[in-house]
Structure 1
Amino acid sequence: MQRPKYFAPAEVAAHNTPDDLWVSYLGTVHDLTPLVEEFRGDVLLKPIIEHAGKDISHWFDPKTKDILTHVDPLTGCRKYYTPRGRFVHVPPPWPCTDWTNDFGRPWWRDNRYQVGLLSAKARWIRIINTLTSQEQRLEVCSEETLDEILQRYCRYNSHAASYTWKHGGVVLDMSKTLHENGVQDDEENLCKVATDGDLFCPAMLLYYNDDLTEC
């Protein structure tokens, strides 16, 4: 079974326009661009567009995975709580004839929009090519294996798979995460002692294997 793809918050934030709109919520990442295209021009898109590239977990009840609800003090009826305004697939607070509910699943329950999972912790590493002495800082997800990190690095070196990856003189297991390979994330401890984490960013050393395998 294929592993889900993980995204760092910064990657989600890069998709922040109506023509390329991602959001994250409850640990998942969703591409709502098709939804925006379908309802283009509809005023009910406004709250969604305002939160393009952001995390909207605060819109949801983590237990039900549904939009938060509250009891209307005037009617005593339970309805969706949308302080930033009603949005697509949220029913109006009163009966009306100009709203249809035959759209199937609301977008927040529709897995078609989900593109991956939001990383619980993104971290920075340095990748140093010992053959060329080139160094690249790369933000990765703590849940990713080294093989998945290699795929991120391929944009900078299309022959990244032609190298043996090492840290601290030890060959890394590409099927395991950084943590599982003993590459600890000391960011929290460094913050406690007011030390710049950039100065202690862990380095992965790449040693050429004398082949030209491409990613």
Structure 2
Amino acid sequence: MTPTRVPYYTPREVSRHSTPTDLWVSYLGQVYDLTKLATEHRGDILLKPIIEAAGKDISHWFNPKTRDIKTHIDPQTGCLKYYTPQGRFLHVSPSLPCSDWDTDFGRPWWRDPSYEIGNLSSKTRIIRIINTLTSQEHILEVCSEETIWEILHRYLPYNAHAASYTWKYCGVPLNMDVTLEENGVQDEDEEFDELKIDSDLYTASIHLYFNDDLTEI
């Protein structure tokens, strides 16, 4: 089995965490759980832009080279300041000197790795998993970067004994330690787009063959 590594999440999974008590965002390819931050600063007006962004990708807030909040020259002061058109938020300094601005919060939240929980998938795929023993079919959205083992874990809610099956594509057993693409399960979305064919009409199918044991993960 592949050793545990940082998980990948789909944008749809991030979008499900969109409340002040369950608040995820993604930016610059990573996923962050800001629930603790929101809890610690409950009631703070500077939390509002973050709550409004819950469940969304906020990469447009950042400079991809510095991985810091975008900056611009303030037309009134001529000084460099953070660019926050959605409104000033937590750990962003005010544009003018302010006596109640507290700078002892330490590292700003967007530079704090403790909030990072995984990677955002650069491309998701839809696959059909067919249990040849029961003839049940399930459609899963998976991350293109995930190994078959990681996809198996996504499938566990539908079949707790998924590891008791041999996973095959076109009759060939899959290497569980590599991705769909590396197993020859090609992502043909671009080809379908070029041919103006609806990619939803074709979904790659993975067939599961029972091994006569009841392995659980």
TM over 0.5, shorter chain: yes
Q: Residue in 1 aligned with 2:93? A: 91
The partner residue of 1:135 within 134, 137, 143 is 137
CA distance 1:2–1:209, shift in 2 (3 Å):
closer
Write the mapping of 1:11-160 to structure 2, written as runs, cut at 5 A.
11-160=13-162
Once the 2 structures are TM-superposed, how far is the Cα of residue 196 of structure 1 from its aligned partner?
2.3
Once the 2 structures are TM-superposed, how far is the Cα of residue 192 of structure 1 from its aligned partner?
2.3
Q: Give the letter for the 2:40 counterpart.
A: E
Residue 200 of structure 2 corresponds to residue 198 of structure 1: yes
Q: Give the letter for the 2:102 counterpart.
A: T
Once the 2 structures are TM-superposed, how far is the Cα of residue 4 of structure 1 from its aligned partner?
1.1
Q: Give the letter for the 1:89 counterpart.
A: H
CA distance in 2, matches of 1:187, 1:134: 25
Once the 2 structures are TM-superposed, how far is the Cα of residue 95 of structure 1 from its aligned partner?
1.3
Post-superposition Cα deviations, 1:23-50, rounded to whole Å, max 9, x if no partner, equal 0000000011111101101110111111
Post-superposition Cα deviations, 1:69-91, rounded to whole Å, max 9, x if no partner, equal 00111211000000010000101
> Aligned residues: percent identity?
66
Question: Secondary structure at 1:180's aligned position in 2?
Answer: helix
CA distance in 2, matches of 1:198, 1:156: 22
The partner residue of 1:173 within 172, 175, 196 is 175
The partner residue of 1:211 within 198, 210, 213 is 213
Q: Give the letter for the 1:7 counterpart.
A: Y
Q: Residue in 1 aligned with 2:188? A: 186
Once the 2 structures are TM-superposed, how far is the Cα of residue 2 of structure 1 from its aligned partner?
4.0
Once the 2 structures are TM-superposed, how far is the Cα of residue 194 of structure 1 from its aligned partner?
2.5
CA distance 1:140–1:36, shift in 2 (3 Å):
same
Once the 2 structures are TM-superposed, how far is the Cα of residue 206 of structure 1 from its aligned partner?
0.1
Aligned residues: 215
CA distance in 1, matches of 2:139, 2:194: 23
CA distance in 1, matches of 2:42, 2:15: 21
CA distance in 2, matches of 1:16, 1:72: 32
CA distance in 2, matches of 1:117, 1:101: 30
CA distance in 2, matches of 1:48, 1:200: 38
Q: Give the letter for the 1:60 counterpart.
A: F
CA distance in 2, matches of 1:209, 1:174: 15
RMSD (Å), alpha carbons: 0.9
Deviates more, 1:64-73 or 1:191-200: 191-200
Question: Secondary structure at 2:103's aligned position in 1?
Answer: coil
Post-superposition Cα deviations, 1:63-112, rounded to whole Å, max 9, x if no partner, equal 11100000111211000000010000101111111111111110000011
Question: Secondary structure at 1:10's aligned position in 2?
Answer: helix
CA distance in 2, matches of 1:196, 1:212: 39
- Stretches of structure 2 that go unaligned for 5 or more consecutive residues are none
